[in-house]
Structure 1
Amino acid sequence: MKIFPAVDILEGRCVQLVGGKRETEKAYGSPLASAIRWIDEGATALHIINLDGAFGHAQANVDVMYDLVRSTDVFIQLGGGIRSESDAAGWLNLGVDRVIIGTAATEDPGIIRRLSEEFGSDRIMAGVDARGGEIATHGWEKTAGDVSVWATRFEEEGAGSLLFTNVDVEGLCAGIAREPIERVIGSVKIPVVVSGGVSTLTDLRILLELRAGGAVLGSALYQGLISLPDILKEIQ
C-alpha cells in the first residue's frame, strides 16, 4: 500500500478543508515547503490537488503546481480542475505520474478510455468522491448516482486506478468509514487509493486488510495526530 501525503492548494496556499467546504480552511503555508517536509520524512509519493480548480477556476495555482512538479522527484498524482483531455495531457507531458479525472469523467466517461489509450492506463486515475453513497461532482456540490456503479464504469473505460474519497468524513480526523470503502474495492479489480478520514494506525491496518492500493493522508498528518515515519514503518 502506497502512502500519499496531501498537498491541497487554495489561492496559492497549502490548506486542509473539512468536507470540502472553503469556510473550514486551515492554512499550512507554502505548498512546496509542505511537500519537501513530507519527502524529508520519507514520503515517496504526493497527492496534489488544485482546490480552486475543483471549485471551477481551472487556471488558478498553475504556477504553484508547476513549481511543485519541477522541484520534487517523487511519484505525483495530481487532480483538481482537470476538465479536458488537453488539461490532462499538459500535466502528463510535464511529467506528472498520474492525473485524477473527476467531474469530467462523470460528464464524459469516454475521456478515461481516450487518455488511457494515449498515455497508458497506469497514468489515468478516476476520482470516485462519495457523499451519502453517491458520487459527488463539481467541487462536491452535486451528486450523480451510486459510487459502486461509477467505479465499475470507470474500470470498464480503462482507468488504471481509482481515488475513493469519502466526503462525509473528509477532514474530520475521526477515522474512516469501512463499509463504503469495502463496497467500492469489492466492485473493481484495479487498485483503489482511499482518502477521507484516515487518522490513526488502526485506519491504516483496516485499509491493509481491505487491500487498498494506497491511502491519502491529510488533516490528521498536518495536525500532528499521526506521524508519517510511524505510518511508513507500520505498512512495511
Structure 2
Amino acid sequence: MIVFPAVDILGGRCVQLVQGRRDTATIYGDPLQCAESWLSQGAEALHIVNLDGAFGSSKLNAEKITDLITRTGVQTQLGGGIRSLDDARSWLDCGVDRVILSTFAADDPDCLTILSDEYGSDRIMAGVDAMAGEMVTHGWEKPAGNFLEWADLFIKKGAGSLLYTNVSVEGLCRGIDPKPIRELLSVVSVPVVVAGGITSVADITLLREADAAGVVLGSALYSGKITLREALEAAG
C-alpha cells in the first residue's frame, strides 16, 4: 500500500486545512521543501492539491507545482480546480503521473472517457468525496447522490483509480470511519486511495487489510500525530 504525504498549496505555501475551509489554514512553508522533507524520510510518492484551483484560481501555483514535479521526480497525483479537459491535459503533459477529477467528472463524466483514451486509464483518477454516504461536489458544498453509484459510473466511464475522501472526518485527526470505505472497496474493480481522518497506525493497518491501494496523509502527518516512518511500516 502506497503512502502519499499531502502537499497542499495555497497562495504558494504548503498548508493544511480543516474540513476544507480556507480560514483554517495552518502554514508549513515552502511546498518544495516540505516535499523534499517527506522524500528524505522515505516517501516514494506525493499527493499534491492546488487549493487555489479548488477555490477558483486554477492557474495560481502552476509554476511552483511544475517545478516541484520536475525536481522531485517521484510518483505524483494532483487535484484541485481541474475544471476542463485543457486543465487536465496541461498537468498530464507537464509530468503529473495521475490527475484527480472530482467536480469536473461529476459535471461531465465523459471527460474521464476522453482523457483515458488519450493518456491511459491509469493516469486518470476520479475523486469520490462523500459525506454521510452522499457524494459532494463544488468544494464539498453540493450534494450529488449516492457515492457508490458515482464510483461505479466513474469506473464505467474510464477512471483507472479512485480517490475516496470522507469529508465528514477530513482534517480532524480523529480517525477514519471504516464502514463506507469497506462498502466502496467491496464493490469496485479499480485501485482506491483513501483520504480523510487517517491519524494512527491502527487506521493505516485497517486500510491495508481492507485492500486499499494507498493512503493520503495530511494533517496528522504535519502535526506529528503520526510519523512517516510509522505510516510506512504500517502500510507494509
TM-score normalised per structure 2: 0.98
Counterpart CA distance in 2 for 1:41 and 1:90 is 30
Matched with 2:108 is 108
Q: In 1, Cα distance between the equivalents of 2:16 and 2:183?
A: 26
What does residue 85 of structure 1 align with? 85
What is the deviation of 1:132?
2.2
1:66-77 alignment, distance < 5 Å: 66-77=66-77
Moved over 4 A (4+): none
| Match status 1:217 vs 2:231 | no
Whether the 8 Å CA contact 1:56–1:139 is kept in 2: the answer is: no
Q: Deviations over 1:134-165 (max 9, x none)?
A: 11111112121111100000011111000000
Matches within 5 A, 1:194-233: 194-233=194-233
Partner of 1:120: 120
Query: Are residues 1:33 and 2:41 paired?
Result: no
In structure 2, distance between residues paired with 1:17 and 1:46: 17
In the alignment, structure 2 segments of 5+ residues that lack a partner are none
- Please report how far the alpha carbon of residue 175 of structure 1 lies from its aligned counterpart in structure 2 after TM superposition: 0.3
Q: CA deviation at 1:233?
A: 2.0
Give distance in 2, aligned partners of 1:197 and 1:13: 22
- TM-fit CA distance, 1:234: 2.4
Q: What are the superposed Cα offsets for residues 20-43 of structure 1, whole Å, 9 maximum, x if unpaired? A: 011111111111111000000000
Q: Is the 8 A contact 1:55 1:138 kept in 2?
A: no
Instruction: Name the stretch that deviates more: 83-92 or 169-178.
Output: 83-92
Aligned-residue offset at 1:187: 2.3
Q: Which amino acid aligns with 1:86?
A: D
Partner SS state of residue 29, structure 2: coil
Q: Which moved more, 1:72-81 or 1:131-140?
A: 131-140
CA contact (8 A) 1:151 1:187 kept: no
Residue identity opposite 1:184 in structure 2: L
- Using the size of structure 1 for normalisation, the TM-score is 0.98
- Larger CA deviation: 128-137 vs 211-220: 128-137
Separation in 1, partners of 2:31, 2:76: 14
Q: Distance in 2 between matches of 1:187 and 1:84?
A: 29
- What stretches of structure 1 of length at least 5 have no aligned partner? none
Aligned to 2:51: 51
Measured after TM superposition, the shift of residue 182 of structure 1 is: 1.1
